[in-house]
Structure 1
Amino acid sequence: MKFTVDRAPLLRALSHIQGVAEKRNTIPILANVLMNHDGEILRLTATDMEIAIVEEIPSEATRAGSVTVPAAVLFEIVRKLTDGALIEFEQESQEEPLHLRAGRYETNLNVLPVDNFPAMLAGDLPHHFSIETNGLRDLIDRTRFAMSNEETRYYLNGIYLHIVLEDKKNYLRAVATDGHRLAKIDTPAPFGVETMPGIIIPRKTVTELRKLLEGDGSSVEVSLSETRIQFRIGSILLTSKLVDGTFPEYSRVIPQNNSRILRVAKQDLAAAVGRVAAISQERSRPVKLTITRNHLTLSAVSPDQGIAQEELDENSVTYDSDDVEIGFQARYLTDITDQIDVEVEFAFANSSSPTLIRDTGQPSALYVLMPIRV
C-alpha cells in the first residue's frame, strides 16, 4: 500500500483512536490501529473488544491496502511532526514494516498481521434516534462525575440512560451514582426513543464519546439494542457493549421532604470550599457548613495546619430556617458545584440525611449528596 495524508486530520483521528486501543497490551494486536485504504478514503479502526471506533479521512492513494501498527507510537510521531506536514505511508508487502515519511523525517513502524485484527460487530440495533450534540454533551457532563469506579459494583460503572414519563411528556434521563452522590438530568425525548430499553453506558465509552462531542457536528445518530450501542458523529462510528447489569432503583435515595432551603452564589461557594479545604491533607477533605439566617460559615480542620474558615453573608446567601451544621467531602461538593452556573440551591432535612442540590437555572438537573461526620 502507498498513500499520503495531511497531518491535521490524521492527528485528530489518532487522538480519538489511541484512547480506545488497549494499553495493557495483554493481546498485542489490540494495541494497534488498523489502517485500511480503499483508494479514496483512509479508515482507522481501534478496539479493545468492549468498544470500537472507526474514523474516515479523505486521502490519496497510489496503492490501496491494509496494515496494523501500534496506535500510541503512531500518535506520538504524528503529534510531533510540524503543522501542515504531508505524511506518506508505504508498505511493499504485508510482511514488511510500514515506512513513514514526512519532509526530512522518516521511520519504520512494526506491523502485525491484518488477519489477526478482531472485528467487533454491532449486530442488530433495532432502536434509532437522533439527538443534538449539545444535548448529549449536557447529559454526559452533568452526570459522569458521579459514576463509580468500584469493580465490585460494576453496574454503577457508567451512565444509566432511560425514558421516563412525567407530566404526560417523555424525557430521556441520564443518571449516575457511586453510592455517595447521585446526579440526574432530563432532556425532552428525541423522536424514536419511546420503546428503547434502559441501558448502562460503560465508563470508558462515556469518556471516549465525550471527546468526540468536541467537534462541530450538530447531531448524533444513536442506534442500540439491549446489549450494544452505536454512535455516528460525522465520519466517526463508535460502537460499544453495554453494562450487563441492573441499575438500582435510584429514586428511593432522592429525598422528597427536605424543607430547609439554602441558596448561595455558585462562584462564592466554590471559591470558599477550595480555600478552606486547602489546609487538609486527608483524602476525603471534609468541609463543615454552619448555616444560620442569611449566613454561611465554611470550615475545615487539619491536625497539622489547624482550622481554616470563611464566612459568606447575605450578599451571597439566602436562608431563613432552623440552624444547620452539616459536613461534606470537599471534592464531592466541588464536583457538583462545577455543574452549576450561577446559584446553588441546597435542600436539607437534618445533618445526617441526604441533601438535595439543584441548579436554580437548570431545573431539569438534580443532585443528591450524602453528608459525612466532621
Structure 2
Amino acid sequence: MKATIERAVLLKSLGHVQSVVERRNTIPILSNVLIEADASGQLKLMATDLDLQVVETIAAKVETAGTTTVSAHTLFEIARKLPEGSEVSLAAAEGKMQVKAGRSNFNLPTLPRDDFPVIAEGDLPTNFELPVAELIQIIDKTRFAISTEETRYYLNGIFLHVAEDATGPVLKAAATDGHRLARYTVTRPDGASSMPDVIVPRKCVTEIRKLLDEAEGNVEISLSASKIRFQLGHAILTSKLIDGTFPDYSRVIPTANDKLLKVDPKSLYQGVDRVSTIASEKTRAVKVGLDKDRITLSVTSPENGTAAEEVAAVYDSEAMEIGFNARYLSDILGQVDGDTVELHLADANAPTLIRESEKSPALYVLMPMRV
C-alpha cells in the first residue's frame, strides 16, 4: 500500500476515528486503525472497540492499493505534530508502515488486516433521516441526565422511541439518572413509524455529537433492535445498542403540580451558581424559598457558613420551601434558551416539572432534596 494525503485532511479524519479506540487494550489489534487505500483515489480509515465502529472515507493520491493496520494514537500524534500544509506519505509493506512528511520519517509496526474485527456489516431494517441541527438538539437537551451508574446499565444512554401525542406522531428522546429526567420531542421522521424502542449508549452519543459539529444537511439513521448506524458526509458510525429495558419514565412526569413559578433562567442559574459556592461537595443542596414574586436561594454549610440571594420572579401561590441539588438544577437551567422558564411545583417532597413553555419540545423533571 502506498498513498499521499494532505496532513490537515489526515489529522481531521484520524481525530474522528482514534477517539473510539480505548487507551488500554488487552487485544492489540483494537489499538489500531485500519487503513485501506483504494485504486479509485480514496483512503478508508476504520476504528472499533467491538461495541462501536467509525469508518471515514477521504480523498488521497493512491499509488498502490492495499490495506494495513497501525496504532491509531501513535499515527494521530505524528500527524498532529507534523508541519501545517505538509503532504504525508504512507507506505506499508512487510509488517511496517513508513510515514514521511518533509524531513520527518517514521517506521511503525503494523498488524495484519485479517485480524481486524468488523461489527457493522449488513442492512438495518428501520431507515430515516434527521436534520443535523435537530439531532444536535436531541442530544444536547438530554445527555446531561444520562446515568453513570454501571449497575443500572439500562440508564447509561439515551432512550429513543416513537409515540402518539396530541400533536400527532412523534419521536421522543429521554435520559434519566433517577434524580432528574430530560425529554425532548420532535415530529416523527418518515420511515420511523415501525422502529423498535432503543437505548443508544453514552459513548456512541459522545462520538456522534463530535461528528455533528462538522456536518451539515441531514443524518441518515438506520437501526435494528440491537444496532444503530449514523451516516453523515464521509463518516459512518455504527454502534451496538444497550440490551435492556428502559423504565416507563412517563410515570414520574407530574401532571397535577398546581404552583407555577416563572423566572428568568439566566438570573436563577447565576444565583444558584453564586450561593452554591459554599455548598459542601457531598450534598450540593440549595434551598429555594418561594414567596410572592420572589425567590430566596440559600445554602447552609457547617464548614463554610451561609449564603443567600434574592431573585425576582412571578409567583402568586402560597409560600413554600423546597431543596434541590444545585448542580442538577443548574444543568437544567443551562439548557433553557428563552427568557422565561416555568417551574411547576406541588410541595417540598414532590418532583418539580421544568420547561420553557407548554409548547416547548424539551421537558425536565427534578426530584427534590431534604435541606
Please state which band the TM-score falls in when normalised by the shorter chain. over 0.9
Whole-Å Cα distance in 2 between the matches of residues 267 and 362 of structure 1? 20
Gap regions ≥5 residues in structure 1? none
Q: Tell me the residue number matched to 1:348.
A: 345
Paired residue for 1:365, among 353, 358, 362?
362
Contact 1:67 1:94 in 2 (8 A): no
Whole-Å Cα distance in 2 between the matches of residues 125 and 253 of structure 1? 33
What SS does the aligned partner of 2:328 have? helix
Contact 1:284 1:331 in 2 (8 A): no
1:206 is displaced (CA, Å) by: 0.6
1:361 is displaced (CA, Å) by: 8.6
1:128 is displaced (CA, Å) by: 0.6
1:48-101: CA deviation from partner (whole Å, max 9, x where unpaired): 11110100010001111111111112112212223222111112x232x21111
Output aligned runs, 1:192-211, within 5 Å.
Answer: 192-211=191-210
The 1:122–1:62 alpha-carbon spacing in structure 2 relative to 1, beyond 3 Å, is closer
Whole-Å Cα distance in 2 between the matches of residues 195 and 48 of structure 1? 29
1:259-290: CA deviation from partner (whole Å, max 9, x where unpaired): 11111111111111111111224233111111
The 1:362–1:277 alpha-carbon spacing in structure 2 relative to 1, beyond 3 Å, is farther
Q: Tell me the residue number matched to 2:89.
A: 88
User: Between Structure 1 and Structure 2, how many residues are aligned?
Assistant: 369
Output aligned runs, 1:31-180, within 5 Å.
Answer: 31-39=31-39, 40-91=41-92, 93-95=93-95, 97-167=96-166, 169-180=168-179
Q: Tell me the residue number matched to 1:338.
A: 334
Q: Compare 15-24 and 50-59 and name the one that shifted more.
A: 15-24
The 1:20–1:346 alpha-carbon spacing in structure 2 relative to 1, beyond 3 Å, is same
- Matching residue's letter, 1:305: N
Output aligned runs, 1:213-232, within 5 Å.
Answer: 213-232=212-231
Whole-Å Cα distance in 2 between the matches of residues 370 and 359 of structure 1? 18
1:318 is displaced (CA, Å) by: 0.8
Q: Tell me the residue number matched to 1:253.
A: 252
Contact 2:215 2:232 in 1 (8 A): no
Q: Tell me the residue number matched to 1:8.
A: 8
Considering only aligned residues, what root-mean-square deviation do their CA atoms show, in Å?
A: 1.3
Large movers: runs of 4+ above 6 Å: none
So what's the TM-score if we normalise by structure 1? 0.96
1:360 is displaced (CA, Å) by: 3.1
Output aligned runs, 1:206-355, within 5 Å.
Answer: 206-313=205-312, 317-341=313-337, 342-355=339-352
1:280-314: CA deviation from partner (whole Å, max 9, x where unpaired): 2423311111110111111112222200111112x
Contact 2:161 2:198 in 1 (8 A): yes
What SS does the aligned partner of 1:130 have? strand
Whole-Å Cα distance in 2 between the matches of residues 356 and 112 of structure 1? 54
What SS does the aligned partner of 1:73 have? helix
The 1:291–1:122 alpha-carbon spacing in structure 2 relative to 1, beyond 3 Å, is farther
1:168 is displaced (CA, Å) by: 5.7
Contact 1:122 1:230 in 2 (8 A): no
1:22 is displaced (CA, Å) by: 2.5
Whole-Å Cα distance in 1 between the matches of residues 94 and 115 of structure 2? 12
- Matching residue's letter, 1:68: T
Whole-Å Cα distance in 2 between the matches of residues 362 and 103 of structure 1? 58
Contact 2:53 2:120 in 1 (8 A): no
1:90-128: CA deviation from partner (whole Å, max 9, x where unpaired): 12x232x21111122222222222211111134341111
1:224-279: CA deviation from partner (whole Å, max 9, x where unpaired): 11111111001111111111111111111111100111111111111111111112
1:17 matched to 2:17? The reply is yes
- Matching residue's letter, 2:336: I
What SS does the aligned partner of 1:245 have? coil
The 1:124–1:216 alpha-carbon spacing in structure 2 relative to 1, beyond 3 Å, is closer
Gap regions ≥5 residues in structure 2? none
So what's the TM-score if we normalise by structure 2? 0.96
